[in-house]
Chain A
Amino acid sequence: MKNASFKIPDGVAAGLLGPNGSGKTTSFKLILGFIKPTAGNIRVFGLDPVKHENEVRSRIGYLPEKPVYPHVKLRVLIRHVARLRNVPSRDIERIAKLTGITRYLDFNVKSLSRGYIQRLGLALALLGDPDILLLDEPTANLDPLSRKEIIELIKDLMQDLGVTVIIATHILPELQQVANYIVFINKGQVIEYGDLGSIVTRYRVTATFKIRTSEPRKLASKLIMLENIRAVEITGDGLLVKATGEGVEEIKLYLEEAIGGAASLELISSELGELYEKLAGIN
């Protein structure tokens, strides 16, 4: 990492993006105090993670990139982690249910598929209700079905627990389903970080927005005429508009002129691949 500096606000689902070897896992290891910075300092919850290992790590749930678990029954491993985290044993059942591994609790770790090993990793990370979840490549090396399941699980966990999640990945289609904040790293340098909506707008990336309006048909017929609008879909309470980077400015201008800016744009999803290419080209 070189002069890396970024902040992640509470409650967001942040994507730590970057090519292989860019420093994503290193960032996590620095946050957890597994390695020490050679220069500069790092503060997590206002504390040095190397000096205050327990205070920092007991508030973080971590799913390693390539987790290697001991070959024991899931129940044994989860119970041990629960004891280390000072979590009552009744929470084991709750977390197991939340992550969908209840029926595998008496199975040996070595008998699990990759998808279920990731579920186990999520269960271990969630014990003790951490303030932050660090997920390092949670869908790497999974088959498409398992990837989808894990992403759905992460989405559910975010909704149910309201925990801050930081996901390190370079697999974009899945990330764009969950992330609303990004930190882009390349060659150890932080290229960009911030709210996904503002970054998408700033880098003029194709994205889908929601516009709430009481007259969706009327607004749709106007917007579809604009040059950089790719698609408009009428929903129950407004419109879903897919626009290129330039189109976003057009929509904003149109909304300002037509209805005095009364309707706002809410980012639904964006083409992270396009953003990735633009950001990767900066360094």
Chain B
Amino acid sequence: MSSMRSLQESIKRIFHHVDYIMGLQARLLYIFTIIFAVIVSYAFYTTPGFTISLLPLFFLIYAAMVSALATEPIDEISKGTIQVYLATGLTREEYYEAWLLGGIAFQTLVFALIYSIPAFIVNPRIFFITPSSYGLNVPMGILIVIGSLQIMYYGAIAMTVGALTKKRSLAVLSVFLLMVIIPFLVGIISSILTPNSAEHITSLVMLFCNQLFYAGIMSYKNIGVFGLSPVIESLIILMVFDIALILISDSVWRRIEI
């Protein structure tokens, strides 16, 4: 009975902090959300296929903002602001879970809903459209799921690297490397290799760095680098990485010293 009550209290504290974080930290994200929502809604009415071509751009902006938000707890540790919250009785785990929910999961959901709500209102069949005229053979709904899981992936990386190193700059750098630098460098390096090995290396790196692009690039093929459908490979990698990163980050946060 008492453990049930303490769990209830704990959940209550987590949601109080989530509410506080979102009100305080995510204002910029909400401004972008409103702008994106207006653009996407208009595009769905006019040319649904074109809407999906906006996905990579919105995805990059969102991933960058969510990753920046995910490094806020590290900033709060280095500044000492975290002491203000933990001194109240909020535990390290509750603090971490509040950031995971408010800083990453909720924002990812908002990204998914920007696309899903207008599509659902205009015509739910849009989710199953394959925008092949844009070179993509993946249904829109799946691309939205991959994009959302990947935003979570970058957020989780930022939070994990930040917790392990206690350095915000390293956390931001690690996301930037995965999202932009490594795919870009690999693209350059691949250009001097034979076409077959270049494609293989690029695909492999993309599968671990930028799954949305991997699914897009490989969508003309039925077989990915591990012999499964490229979309399935992207989804498996993302889900495994997301869960693993959240577990690692959680165990680091439980023991973090302030």
A-side residues, CB < 8 A to B, are 29, 32, 34-36, 53-55, 57-58, 60-62, 64, 66-70, 72, 76-77, 80-81, 83-86, 124-125, 127-128
Please state if B84 and A67 are interface contacts (CB–CB under 8 Å): yes
Q: Known: A54-B89, A64-B80. Is A35-B258 also a contact (CB below 8 A)?
A: yes
- A84: which B residues are within 8 A, CB to CB? 13, 16-17, 85, 88-90
In the complex, 26 of the A-B residue pairs with CB atoms within 8 angstroms, ordered by the A residue number, are: A32-B87, A34-B257, A36-B257, A53-B89, A54-B89, A58-B88, A62-B83, A64-B80, A64-B84, A64-B87, A67-B80, A68-B79, A69-B84, A72-B24, A77-B84, A80-B17, A81-B84, A81-B88, A84-B16, A84-B85, A84-B90, A85-B88, A86-B9, A124-B84, A125-B87, A127-B88
- A66: which B residues are within 8 A, CB to CB? 80
- A35: which B residues are within 8 A, CB to CB? 257-258
Interface residues of B in 75-97 (CB under 8 A from A): 79-81, 83-92
- B257: which A residues are within 8 A, CB to CB? 34-36
What residue of chain B has the Cβ atom nearest to residue A127's Cβ? B88
Please state if A29 and B258 are interface contacts (CB–CB under 8 Å): yes
Size of the chain B interface, CB-CB below 8 angstroms: 25
- A83: which B residues are within 8 A, CB to CB? 16
Q: Known: A53-B92, A68-B80, A68-B81. Is A62-B87 also a contact (CB below 8 A)?
A: yes
The verdict on B20 contacting chain A, using a C-beta distance below 8 Å, is yes
Please state if B83 and A34 are interface contacts (CB–CB under 8 Å): yes
- A61: which B residues are within 8 A, CB to CB? 87
Q: A69 to B92, alpha carbons, bound, how many Å?
A: 18
Q: A80 to B89, alpha carbons, bound, how many Å?
A: 12
Q: Known: A34-B83, A68-B79, A86-B9. Is A58-B89 also a contact (CB below 8 A)?
A: yes
Q: A35 to B255, alpha carbons, bound, how many Å?
A: 9
Task: A32-B86, A53-B86, A54-B90 are known; give 19 further A-B pairs, CB within 8 A.
Answer: A34-B86, A36-B255, A53-B89, A55-B89, A58-B88, A67-B80, A67-B84, A68-B79, A76-B23, A80-B16, A80-B17, A81-B84, A81-B88, A84-B13, A84-B17, A84-B85, A84-B88, A84-B89, A127-B88
Candidate in B13, B80, B88 with the most chain A CB atoms within 10 angstroms: B88
Within the complex, the shortest CB–CB distance from B142 to chain A, in Å, comes to 39
Q: A86 to B87, alpha carbons, bound, how many Å?
A: 13
Please state if B85 and A34 are interface contacts (CB–CB under 8 Å): no
- B13: which A residues are within 8 A, CB to CB? 84
Within the complex, the shortest CB–CB distance from B17 to chain A, in Å, comes to 7
Please state if A60 and B87 are interface contacts (CB–CB under 8 Å): yes
- B255: which A residues are within 8 A, CB to CB? 36
